[in-house]
Amino acid sequence: MTTNFNTGFVAQTITTADGLKLHARDYDSAHGDALPVICLPGLTRNSRDFHQLAIMLSSHPQSPRRVIALDYRGRGQSDWDHNKANYNIAVEAQDVLALCETLGIHRAIFIGTSRGGLILHLIAVMKPELLAGVVLNDVGPVLEVEGLRHIQNYLGHARAPRDWDDAAAILQDLHGKAFPALGSEDWREMAEALYRRDGDRVVSDFDPAIAEAMVAADLSKPLPEMWAQFEAMRLVPLLVVRGENSTLLSEETVREMAKRHPKSERIIAAEQGHAPLLHVDGIGERVVQFVNACG
C-alpha cells in the first residue's frame, strides 16, 4: 500500500449513553489555538477514509490543528450494536455529541461525508454553537433516488474479495466509471480504508446489518428533505463539495443550497462520483484553506 494508515494519531475510546465503546483517531499536534476538526464518514465507511486529509491538516506548516475522525457504532474498531434499529442518524448524532463532550471539545470545524453530512444537519439543530464551520462532502438536504439505488445495488450484491488486490479490483469495477480521476494506487488505498483482515480473509469493516437495512429501504416513497435543518447552518461558514459525476447530490440542490446560505462556497471534484476522495487532485488543499479561514 502507498499510505501507512496506522501512524500519525493516537486511538481514543469513548462510551456512548447506551454503553457502547466507540473508537476515534486523534491526530493531535502542536496545534496552538487552532480550532479542532472532526471528521464524520459515510454510511459503511470509517475513520480511515480521512487519514490523508487528517495528516494534511494536523501537520500544516502554518496552522497545524487537532483532527479527530470517528468510527460510528458498527463500523471500524467501534462496537457493533445488538439493537440494529440504533443504526440511524439521530442516534449517531448523539454519539458525535458524546465524543465532543468526552474530549472536551466545545467548538469545532466539521467535515461530513455523505451520512456524516446528514448527521451534521441534525447537530445544527441540536447544538448549533458547536459548529464553527462545516464541509459537506457530496451531501445536502435532498438526496437523489438514483444515487440511493446505486448504493442499494452494490451493497446488495457485494462479494467477498479473495485478497487485497481483488478488493481493489472490486471497488474499481463498482465505481470506476464515476471515478476516472483515480489511479491504481487510489483504488488500493480505498480498499485498505473500507476492508479489514479477519484471519486469512479480507472482509468489509462494518456490521452487515447496516447494509441489510439500506438494501431493504423502500425508495418508492418520497424521501424526507432536510431544508429546515439546513437553514440552521445559515450563519456557519459552509463548503459544499460535489463530485462531478455524483448521482446522490444534484447540481440543482447545490444551487438551491447556495441561494439559502449566504456564507457558502462550493467545489466540484472533477472526475469523481459519490463520494469524492478529499485528498485527491487538489481538493484537500482547498479544504485546508477553508478550514484555516474558519479559525
Cβ proximity of 267 and 285 under 8 Å: no
Q: Which domain holds residue 83?
A: 10-145+224-294
Q: Is residue 116 part of a domain?
A: yes
Whether pLDDT at 30 is above 70 = no
Residue at 172 is within a domain: no
CATH of the domain at 119: 3.40.50.1820
CA–CA gap between residue 142 and residue 249 (Å, rounded): 7
Over the stretch 138-177, which tens digit does the pLDDT of each residue have? 999 999 999 999 999 999 888 889 999 999 999 999 999 9
pLDDT digits (tens, 9 = 90+) for 226-269: 999 999 999 999 999 999 999 999 999 999 999 999 889 999 99
Please report, as a single letter, which amino acid is at residue 217. A
Between β-strands 10-15 and 21-27, what pairing exists: parallel, antiparallel or unpaired?
antiparallel
pLDDT at 159: 86
Burial pattern 129-162, b for ≥16 Cβ within 10 A else e, equals ebbbbbbbbbbbbbbbeebbebbbeebeeeeebe
Q: What mean pLDDT is predicted for residues 62-80?
A: 96
Is the residue at 205 inside a domain? no
Residue 16 lies in a domain: yes
Q: Is residue 30 exposed (0-12), middle (13-18) or buried (19+ Cβ within 10 Å)?
A: exposed
What mean pLDDT comes out for the span 54-73?
Answer: 94
Q: Report the number of distinct structural domains present in the chain.
A: 1
Does 211 map to a domain? no
pTM: 0.96
Residue 31 pLDDT greater than 70, yes or no: no
Distance CA 175, CA 153 (A): 12
- For residue 98, name the pLDDT band (cuts at 50, 70, 90): very high
For helices 145-156 and 208-216, angle between their N-to-C axes, nearest 10 degrees: 130
Q: Is residue 214 part of a domain?
A: no
173: in domain? no
Does any domain span residue 217?
Answer: no
pLDDT computed for residue 168 by the predictor: 95
